[in-house]
């Protein structure tokens, strides 16, 4: 079986994806997940998500799907029933893999993209019962010393942290494709290609100012690099980022304001370089 080239290896012991500086608190359980950018298109209305346990111990994984919205530049995840994971919980032996089907149970309107987040969690292993309390020491006799009680070892008090990873999932209506898939497939008559339409604006003033990207299109934008440019050439090396901007949503960028009003915003969006227009005031 040929494995897709896009996959994700997770060390299931740290709080990966929470932020820099997170370190494993105990032995890692490497889990490989692919694809990392699943989509549901066409009449099948399902996509396979693979979980592979590359560790030495069994691992229990839970997969849940949440509706994904953006409000005031913030991601919001809400419970829903339109897309389900089957099976939702899996016990994966060492060296084995598990297929989880992500099933779209409700029709999606044509020319529409719906966004979800697939949350993959490692479930805690069964915890053995604690050892019995040691017997109470006898009162010391004359001239005898009390034997100190042994302290718990580091292994006994170590706390194992499980990981949560959020994978984006996009579901499309009939005869509808995102731009990145339309480049790789032969389009049939009547197929609609949905694309993002981006602009940027500067909000706030002084140190509180932010660069915000707005998406007025019908498909998401995955922004992976940003840079200010002048006369079509970047004035500094591009900065790596990872921002999703959903249709009719907006997100702030981790980017300082432009040095002057005549600078343009260059981005890599869905794998393509583009210059974004500034929103009209």
Tell me the pLDDT band of 180, cut-offs 50, 70 and 90.
Answer: confident
pLDDT in tens, 69-99: 999 999 999 999 999 999 999 999 999 999 9
- Spatial separation of the C-alpha atoms in residues 67 and 81, rounded to whole Å: 9
pLDDT in tens, 10-21: 544 333 433 333
Higher pLDDT, 180 or 111: 111
Cβ neighbourhood burial of 24 (10 Å; 0-12, 13-18, 19+): middle
Looking at the DSSP assignment, which residues form a beta bridge with residue 180?
none
Higher pLDDT, 104 or 164: 104
Looking at the DSSP assignment, which residues form a beta bridge with residue 64?
119
pLDDT at 46 over 80: yes
Tell me the pLDDT band of 165, cut-offs 50, 70 and 90.
Answer: confident
By residue count, the chain amounts to 281
Please state the three-class secondary structure of the chain as a single string: CCCCCCCEEEECCCCCCCCCCCCCCCCCCEEEEECCCCEECCCCCEEEEEEEECCCCCEEEEEEEEEEEEECCEEEEECCCCEEEECCEEEECCCCEEEEEEEECCCCCCCCEEEEEEEEEEECCCCCCCCCCCCCCCCCCCCCCCCCCCCCCHHHHCCCCCCEEEEEEEEECCCEEEHHHHCCCCCCCCCEEECCCEEEEEECCHHHCEEEEEECCCCCEEEEEEEEEECCEECCCCEEEEEEECCCCEEEECCCCCCCCCCEEEEEECCEEEEECECCC
pTM of the predicted model over 0.95? no
Among candidates 1, 22, 3, which has minimal Cα distance to 11?
Answer: 22
pLDDT (0 to 100) of residue 111 = 93
pLDDT (0 to 100) of residue 54 = 94
CB distance 228 to 264 below 8 Å: yes
Dig out the tokens for 178 from the structure: 């995102």
Q: For 90-93, which contacts have Cβ atoms below 8 Å and span 24 or more sequence positions?
A: 90/51, 90/60, 90/61, 90/63, 91/58, 91/59, 91/60, 92/31, 92/51, 92/52, 92/53, 92/58, 92/59, 92/60, 92/61, 93/53, 93/58
Q: What is the mean pLDDT of residues 172-178?
A: 93
pLDDT at 115 over 70: yes
Tell me the pLDDT band of 25, cut-offs 50, 70 and 90.
Answer: very low
Tell me the pLDDT band of 139, cut-offs 50, 70 and 90.
Answer: very low
pLDDT (0 to 100) of residue 227 = 97
Tell me the pLDDT band of 131, cut-offs 50, 70 and 90.
Answer: low
Domains of the chain: 8-125+160-182 (2.60.40.10), 195-276 (2.60.40.3970)
pLDDT at 2 over 50: no
In the chain, the percentage of residues whose pLDDT exceeds 90 is 62
Q: How far apart are the first and last CA of the chain?
A: 54
Tell me the pLDDT band of 182, cut-offs 50, 70 and 90.
Answer: confident
pLDDT at 155 over 60: no
pLDDT at 105 over 80: yes
Q: Give Cα 271 distance to the centre of its chain.
A: 18
Q: In whole numbers, what is the pLDDT of the chain averaged over residues?
A: 82
Among candidates 31, 12, 168, which has minimal Cα distance to 102?
Answer: 168
pLDDT (0 to 100) of residue 150 = 45
Among candidates 90, 92, 32, which has minimal Cα distance to 58?
Answer: 92
Among the listed ranges 28-37, 156-165, 220-229, which one has the minimum average pLDDT value? Answer: 156-165
Q: What is the mean pLDDT of residues 141-146?
A: 40
pLDDT in tens, 206-265: 778 999 999 999 999 999 999 999 988 899 999 999 999 999 999 999 999 998 989 999
Looking at the DSSP assignment, which residues form a beta bridge with residue 40?
171
pLDDT (0 to 100) of residue 143 = 42
Looking at the DSSP assignment, which residues form a beta bridge with residue 84?
103
């Amino acid at each position: 079986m040929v494995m897709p080239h896009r996959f994700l290896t997770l060390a299931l012991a740290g709080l990966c994806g929470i932020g820099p500086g997170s370190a494993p608190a105990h032995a890692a359980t490497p889990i490989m997940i692919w694809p990392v950018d699943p989509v549901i298109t066409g009449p099948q209305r399902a996509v396979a998500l693979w979980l592979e346990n590359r560790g030495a111990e069994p691992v229990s994984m839970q997969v849940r799907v949440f509706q994904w919205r953006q409000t005031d530049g913030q991601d919001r995840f809400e419970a829903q029933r339109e897309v389900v994971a089957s099976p939702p919980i899996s016990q994966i032996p060492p060296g084995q893999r598990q297929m989880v089907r992500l099933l779209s149970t409700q029709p999606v309107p044509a020319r529409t993209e719906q966004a979800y987040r697939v949350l993959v969690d490692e479930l805690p292993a069964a915890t053995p019962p604690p050892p019995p309390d040691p017997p109470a020491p006898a009162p010391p006799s004359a001239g005898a010393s009390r034997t100190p009680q042994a302290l718990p070892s580091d292994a006994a008090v170590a706390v194992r942290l499980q990981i949560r990873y959020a994978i984006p999932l996009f579901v499309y209506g009939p005869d509808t494709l995102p731009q990145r898939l339309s480049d790789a497939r032969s389009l049939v008559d009547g197929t609609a290609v949905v694309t993002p339409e981006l602009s940027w604006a500067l909000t706030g003033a002084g140190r509180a100012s932010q660069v915000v990207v707005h998406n007025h299109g019908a498909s998401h934008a995955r922004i992976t690099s940003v840079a200010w440019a002048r006369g079509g050439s970047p004035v500094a090396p591009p900065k790596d980022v990872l921002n999703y901007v959903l249709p009719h949503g907006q997100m702030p960028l981790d980017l300082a304001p432009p040095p002057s009003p005549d600078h343009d915003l260059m981005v890599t969006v869905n794998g393509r370089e583009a210059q974004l227009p500034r929103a009209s005031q």
